[in-house]
Amino acid sequence: MSDGQRVGIVLVSHSAAVADSVAELARGLAGGGAEVPVASAGGTEGGGLGTSAELISAAAAAVDRGAGVAVITDLGSAVLTVKALLAEGDELPDGTRLVDAPFVEGAVAAVVTASAGGDLDAVEAAAAEAYTYRKA
Amino acid sequence: MLDAAFFRRWMAATAASVDREAERLTALDSAIGDADHGANMQRGFTAVTAALEKEAPTTPGAVLTLAGRQLISTVGGASGPLYGTLLRRAGKALGDAAEVGEEQFADALRAGVDGVMALGGAAPGDKTMIDALLPAVDALGDGFAAARAAAEAGAVATVPLLARKGRASYLGERSIGHQDPGATSSALLIAGLAEAGDE
């Protein structure tokens, strides 16, 4: 963590409505999470269902405060697009990481942890741990 | 030797065949996917054509890396990062050479296919692009026509397979009996290579 800055969170879904709503949910459940930079990258640029590399790059740039960016995705092309962008090397801010986590629970855990001042490793660990919460 | 003009012809031939076959790709994708493969590939290769015209890259490697970048950013489905990785990896493997030999190109394309397998996690027989691309790369030593035939045979051979990757895998046994859309578009890409070589 640099200069007390918060880790940025990017939420990538095939649907803009899903990405926006999960961002709102995570911010709401984080309470004091208003200071955490969260951006959604949902759907295609044309407003359809799908994944947009441009929206992902823009969202990551928007939330980057120098403390790293955690990217949480839903499935399929969202995962593959982020991986391809990371492999490019220069498409996403330094310190951007694809976090292996369930979309909704992972987003909430990530935003809560980031709002508490956790660094990128802590945010990633909290989001990934959300896989272990059994519901039945 | 293959120069940048050859690689531009390859991309143009692929764009044209994707245009011609878009409805068929979408029809195949509506059977086991989400019915957008034709439109997605069309959008991607239209962007490739426009970018190549605008930036006019002068080396084989630059043609392929630019084309791959366009596919990653414009396709909107999983085929974007997968085809984008295929072309960018191949392009990077070709470096800055003004002309490349066919053997060097075959090695580069194999590096691209390896990149696709690493990204998507697919193995041969999973009913994906790989089932057309890998036989094509293996046959490339015998020329572009042989690669084309191998890719087309590989795409047809996906019909009886059970899908193990992507959305089609949710269908389980219901994916059997349909030709994979990704393998089909991969065969178009390799056919474009043969067309570019004929000119």
pLDDT tens profile B99-110: 999 999 999 999
Question: A80–B78: do the CB atoms touch at under 8 Å?
Answer: yes
Q: Give how far A21 is from chain B: nearest CA, Å.
A: 21
Mean pLDDT of B40-55: 97
Interface predicted TM-score (ipTM): 0.83
pLDDT, block means (10 residues), chain A with 136 residues? 80 97 93 80 91 95 97 95 89 96 97 94 97 92
Q: Which residues does chain B have within 8 Å of residue A87's beta carbon, measured at their own beta carbons?
A: 85, 115, 119
User: What is the pLDDT, as a whole number, of residue B178?
Assistant: 94
Query: Which pLDDT belongs to residue A34?
Result: 53
d(CA B178, CA A102): 31
Residue A40 parent element (H or E):
strand A38-42
Looking up tokens 């691309």, which residue turns up? B133
Q: Is B84 on the interface with A (CB under 8 A)?
A: yes
H/E/C letters for each residue in B75-114?
CCCCHHHHHHHHHHHHHHHHCCCCEECHHHHHHHHHHHHH
pLDDT per residue as tens digits for the range B136-182: 999 999 999 999 999 999 999 999 999 999 888 889 899 999 999 99
> Mutation test of the interface with chain B: which of A44, A80, A83, A98, choosing the one with the most B Cβ atoms within 10 A?
A80
Nearest beta carbon to residue A44 from set B76, B78, B166: B76
- Least Cα distance to B199 among B59, B19, B8, B50 occurs for B8
pLDDT given for residue A46 in this prediction:
87
Give the pLDDT of residue A89. Answer: 79
Whether residues B76 and A77 touch (CB distance < 8 A) is answered with yes
Percent of chain B with pLDDT over 90: 90
Residues B83-96 pLDDT 10s: 999 999 999 999 99
| pLDDT tens, residue by residue, B117-142 | 999 999 999 999 999 999 999 999 99
Alpha carbon separation from B42 to A77, B77, B138 (Å, rounded): 17, 12, 27
Q: Least CA distance to B92: which residue of chain A?
A: A88
For residue B199, name the pLDDT band (cuts at 50, 70, 90): low
Å between A15 CA and nearest CA of chain B:
12
pLDDT at B157: 97
Residues in Cβ contact with B115 at an 8 Å cutoff, skipping those fewer than 6 apart = A87, B85, B86, B88, B89
Q: Which residues partner with A11 through β-bridges?
A: A40, A72
Question: In chain B, which residues have their Cβ closer than 8 Å to the Cβ of A48?
Answer: 76
User: What residues of chain B lie within 8 A of the CB of A54, using their CB?
Assistant: 73
For residue A32, what pLDDT is reported?
A: 60
Q: What are phi and psi of A73, to 5 degrees?
A: -120, 165
Percentage above 70 pLDDT, chain B: 99
Output the pLDDT for position B37: 94
Is the domain A8-132 a CATH 3.40.50.300 member?
no
Domain ranges, ordered by start, for chain A:
8-132
Q: What is the dihedral of CA B15, B19, B21, B23, to 10 degrees?
A: 140
Q: Are B103 and A67 in contact (CB under 8 A)?
A: no
**Does the distance separating the beta carbons of A52 and B76 come in below 8 Å?**
yes
Query: In chain B, where do the E strands start and end?
Result: 2-3, 99-100
Which run of H or of E encompasses A79? helix A77-88
Rounded Cα distance between A58 and A52, Å, is 10
**CA distances to A21, A24, A118, B90 from A27, in Å:** 10, 5, 15, 42
CA–CA separation, A135 vs B158, rounded Å? 38
* CATH 1.20.1050.10, applies to B2-198: no
